[in-house]
């Protein structure tokens, strides 16, 4: 935060954000349901937002793909919840990608990153140019967290990582933690227009959900099976095609069952870093630690989400 006189505000007062994309995708999430069937879902198309988020980091394509899938998945799941704050996916394992994180606010602001071990990742890619999510993450846990701020305790569910793909890992979470029947399809790829990412998520509504109340248990099982089979016919190319409107794709998949779209929801570039926020983190360190962090009298902090560097004079950070 600067003015023409050259005055520079203290870091704790400087809430300016770095020069990151001011990008909104108005129809990023398309909720839908199958009338008279116990099925609802969300179709997520990140469009140009995927490229803006994913190219902030110079990761190998295999890592970028799983990061894009995580962003699309967290957007789809967040859209089904009522909360204020952030909903996050975190996968932590002992593989070359030690941490995968994506989060989405109630307003649809997205951000994410993958933390990698460069040497181990290079060795894996030398042996397999297209490793599975399981190979990238290794053994560990998958967590989904709703954080509604300091006045509420976070709500978190954690399970062991199970499955080859991120979609399979998420399905394992819902099967064991939420007892929720889901179908999940994720896609992320580099296209001629840049990186694109998408998610198609179906949920089976319980009998008390108010949809198709007259269907008996066998009919409800058959309706769910049919919907998941139809969803399974979608291709990555269809999910990632900017020129294929979401309503047209949903009709293509589910017209035999009938499909109705709800109001779309926007998604946006959502890094929330600032000098003010990072200065607050620095203030939590002891003075000795700050001395070790400083080089030539300066401390450089890098936002893991948007990969922007913030430089502080050592004298600015008093520590504790």
Determine how many CB atoms are found less than 10 A away from the CB of residue 195.
23
DSSP secondary structure string for all residues of 100-162? EEEEEETT-EEEEEEEE-HHHHHHHHHH-SS--HHHHH-SEEEEEEEE--TTS--EEEEEE--
**What CATH number was assigned to the domain covering residues 274-316?**
3.90.1280.10
Cα 75 → chain centroid? 6
User: Using 50, 70 and 90 to split pLDDT, how confident is the model at 12?
Assistant: very low
Please state, in angstroms and rounded to a whole number, the distance separating the CA atoms of residues 143 and 159.
Answer: 7
User: Is 3.55.30.10 the CATH number for 24-206+217-269?
Assistant: yes
Determine how many CB atoms are found less than 10 A away from the CB of residue 12.
16
Cα 208 → chain centroid? 30
Mean per-residue pLDDT of the chain: 88
Q: How confident is the model at residue 57, as a pLDDT?
A: 92
Q: What is the pLDDT of residues 273-283, one digit of tens each?
A: 777 777 777 88
The percentage of residues in the chain with a pLDDT greater than 70, rounded to a whole number, is: 90
The per-type count for the chain, helices as H runs and strands as E runs, is 10, 13
Task: Provide mean pLDDT across the span 72-96.
Answer: 94
Task: Provide mean pLDDT across the span 114-128.
Answer: 96
Q: How confident is the model at residue 310, as a pLDDT?
A: 78
Domain residue ranges in the chain: 24-206+217-269, 274-316
Q: What is the pLDDT of residues 236-281, one digit of tens each?
A: 999 999 999 999 999 999 999 999 999 999 999 988 777 777 777 7
User: Is 274-316 in the same CATH topology as 24-206+217-269?
Assistant: no
Q: How confident is the model at residue 159, as a pLDDT?
A: 95
Determine how many CB atoms are found less than 10 A away from the CB of residue 215.
16
Look at residue 2 and tell me whether its pLDDT is greater than 60.
no
Query: Is 71 within 8 Å of 46 (Cβ atoms)?
Result: yes
Q: How confident is the model at residue 254, as a pLDDT?
A: 96
């Amino acid at each position: 935060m600067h003015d023409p006189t050259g005055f520079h505000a203290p870091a704790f007062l400087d809430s300016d954000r770095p020069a990151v994309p001011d990008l909104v995708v108005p129809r990023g999430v398309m909720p839908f349901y199958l009338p008279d069937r116990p099925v609802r879902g969300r179709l997520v198309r990140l469009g140009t937002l995927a490229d803006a988020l994913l190219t902030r980091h110079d990761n190998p394509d295999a890592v970028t793909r799983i990061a894009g899938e995580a962003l699309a998945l967290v957007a789809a799941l967040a859209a089904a919840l009522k909360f204020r704050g952030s909903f996050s996916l975190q996968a932590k394992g002992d593989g070359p990608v030690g941490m995968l994180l994506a989060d989405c606010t109630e307003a649809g602001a997205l951000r994410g990153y993958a933390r990698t071990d460069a040497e181990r990742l290079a060795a894996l890619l030398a042996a397999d140019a297209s490793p599975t999510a399981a190979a990238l993450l290794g053994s560990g846990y998958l967590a989904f967290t709703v954080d509604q701020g300091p006045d509420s305790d976070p709500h978190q569910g954690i399970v062991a990582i199970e499955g080859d793909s991120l979609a399979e890992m998420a399905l394992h979470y819902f099967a064991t933690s939420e007892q929720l029947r889901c179908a999940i399809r994720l896609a992320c790829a580099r296209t001629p227009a840049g990186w694109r990412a998408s998610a198609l998520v179906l949920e089976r509504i319980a009998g008390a959900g108010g949809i198709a109340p007259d269907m008996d248990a066998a009919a409800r099982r058959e309706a769910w099976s049919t919907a998941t089979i139809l969803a399974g016919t979608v291709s990555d190319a269809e999910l990632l095609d900017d020129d294929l409107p979401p309503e047209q794709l949903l009709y293509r998949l589910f017209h035999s069952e009938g499909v109705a779209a709800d109001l779309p929801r926007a998604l946006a570039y959502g890094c929330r870093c600032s000098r003010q926020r990072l200065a607050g983190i620095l203030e939590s360190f002891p003075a000795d630690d700050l001395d070790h962090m400083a080089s030539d009298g300066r401390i450089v902090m890098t936002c893991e989400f948007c990969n922007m560097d913030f430089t502080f004079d050592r004298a600015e950070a008093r520590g504790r």
